[in-house]
Amino acid sequence: MFTRYGAVNQVLGNLIDNSRYWLNDVRIHNRKIRIEVDSQKRTLCFADSGPNIDDTIRPYLFEPGYSLRVPQSGLGLYICKYYMRAMKGDIYETNENNRQTDMPGAQFTLDFSRVPDVVSELEEHD
């Protein structure tokens, strides 16, 4: 796939930062972050073993200013969505049928299916 390395790095960095925050709870003994790649669908599923997404925040996940973290910023997932859409991709909460069943925490799918896979396609969209 041809896109900006920095944008993909920012998206993954934000997801890792969020997972690390929520996995910091001393009650969580088995702390894991797992990334599964589906090369056929051109998707990446990012999952952790922390708490799942609270239902009170779920409708606002990708909107700026919404967060249950302390201190609150609420920009991470908004920035992830911005970068993914800028490269013609998408990010969304992984649906129930595609979740990694042994990972109880937050799960996000990064969809790269519409991201150009050759340089000429990238140039056509600019």
Structural domain that includes position 88: 5-95
Residue 46 domain flag: yes
Residue 119 domain flag: no
Burial classification of residue 102, based on how many CB atoms lie within 10 Å of its CB (0-12 exposed, 13-18 middle, 19 or more buried): exposed
CA distances from 18 to 5, 72, 84, 115 (A): 20, 12, 17, 24
Task: For the chain, give the percent of residues with pLDDT over 90.
Answer: 75
Q: What is the CATH number of the domain that holds 82?
A: 3.30.565.10
* pLDDT tens-digit series, residues 56-67: 999 999 999 888
Residue length, the chain? 126
Residue 121 domain flag: no
Task: Yes or no: say if 48 and 33 are a contact pair by the CB < 8 Å rule.
Answer: yes
My answer on whether omega of the bond before 71 falls inside 30° of 0, hence cis, is yes
Residue 105 domain flag: no
Task: Yes or no: say if 52 and 104 are a contact pair by the CB < 8 Å rule.
Answer: yes
Residue 91 domain flag: yes
Residue 54 domain flag: yes
Band (pLDDT 50/70/90 cuts) for residue 3 is confident
**Three-state DSSP class for residue 58:** helix
Query: Is the pLDDT confidence value at 85 over 60?
Result: yes
Residue 117 domain flag: no
Per-residue confidence (pLDDT) for residue 44, from 0 to 100: 96
* pLDDT tens-digit series, residues 14-62: 999 999 999 998 888 899 999 999 999 999 999 999 999 999 999 999 9
Residue 24 domain flag: yes
